[in-house]
Amino acid sequence: DQQVKQNSPSLSVQEGRISILNCDYTNSMFDYFLWYKKYPAEGPTFLISISSIKDKNEDGRFTVFLNKSAKHLSLHIVPSQPGDSAVYFCAAAISSGSARQLTFGSGTQLTVLP
Amino acid sequence: EPEVTQTPSHQVTQMGQEVILRCVPISNHLYFYWYRQILGQKVEFLVSFYNNEISEKSEIFDDQFSVERPDGSNFTLKIRSTKLEDSAMYFCASSKIWGITPSGANVLTFGAGSRLTVL
């Protein structure tokens, strides 16, 4: 049961270029999406989120795009920096109703090469 | 920056032994969670806790698991009789409010995790 899927386990990008991390979901009840970043030996830290009423949310170098019809979201990092190297988790939630926990994808290891 | 702290960072135990993982959530947070990540797999929800009782739990959270808030600061996860498949990184998280609001006000803050290895 993989309601949230990140099909690319790893991604390498040159410093200064754009990093695009992708995420697909199957549960149409999800109406809120988040990206978490995780460094080794640390817990996931919140990065950026988007509600299903929007199709784009931007915060500095980070932009999340949501395509509801395709049940797809992506995280764009531009320009990429070596400090962005981490595992990025996509997560989804249902903001109303009884199910309020986060459903995570399996993560994508981003490596930004200097 | 307030943080969620977890102990131990790594525990090795024999199959069948009881394990208690401890967490100190952020002090003004009211909602507490346990997630786990088996090596190479996704982070999975285990349980959420509020007002001294379980609010939600997943199918993973069977009778072998229990949670407790024994005092005003700690939040613990107990595994009564560990199995090999319990080997994972266990993350505690806390939040100020319940769930995800449409405005996005709520975000879970995670601890660094406790790695459990069952031999």
The pLDDT score that the predictor gives to residue A83 is 95
pLDDT in tens, B15-67: 999 999 999 999 988 889 999 999 888 899 999 998 889 988 999 999 999 99
Residue of chain B nearest A104, judged by CA positions: B43
A13 has pLDDT over 60 = yes
Determine the 3-state secondary structure of A84 from DSSP. helix
Round the average pLDDT of chain A to a whole number and report it.
91
Residues 6+ apart with CB under 8 A from A98: B56
The pLDDT score that the predictor gives to residue B42 is 86
Which among B9, B56, B104 has the least Cβ separation from residue A32?
Answer: B104
pLDDT in tens, A40-58: 888 899 899 998 999 999 9
B104 has pLDDT over 90 = no
Query: DSSP labels for B97-114?
Result: SSS--TT-----EE---E
Compute chain B's Rg from CA coordinates.
Answer: 14
The pLDDT score that the predictor gives to residue A73 is 96
Question: Any idea of the CA torsion for B49, B62, B75, B30, to the nearest 10 degrees?
Answer: -10
Q: Does B52 touch chain A (CB under 8 A)?
A: no
How many angstroms separate the most distant Cα atoms in chain B? 45
The pLDDT score that the predictor gives to residue B106 is 62
Strand intervals (E) in B3-106: 5-7, 10-13, 19-24, 31-37, 43-50, 53-57, 65-68, 75-79, 88-95
Token pair belonging to B51:
């007002």
- Number of A–B residue contacts, CB under 8 Å: 72
pLDDT in tens, B86-100: 999 999 999 887 666
Find where tokens 């754009």 sit. Answer: A18
The pLDDT score that the predictor gives to residue A94 is 83
B105 has pLDDT over 60 = no
Q: What is the mean pLDDT of residues B73-77?
A: 94
pLDDT in tens, A58-88: 999 999 999 999 999 999 999 999 999 999 9
Query: What is the nearest CA distance from A113 to chain B, expressed in angstroms?
Result: 23
B81 has pLDDT over 50 = yes
d(CA B44, CA A67): 24
Q: Does B119 touch chain A (CB under 8 A)?
A: no
A34 has pLDDT over 60 = yes
**Position A99 confidence tier, pLDDT thresholds 50, 70, 90:** very low
Q: Which of residues 59-88 of A touch B (CB under 8 A)?
A: none
- To test the contact with chain A by mutation, choose from B5, B94, B100, B106 the residue with the greatest count of A C-beta atoms within 10 A, namely B100
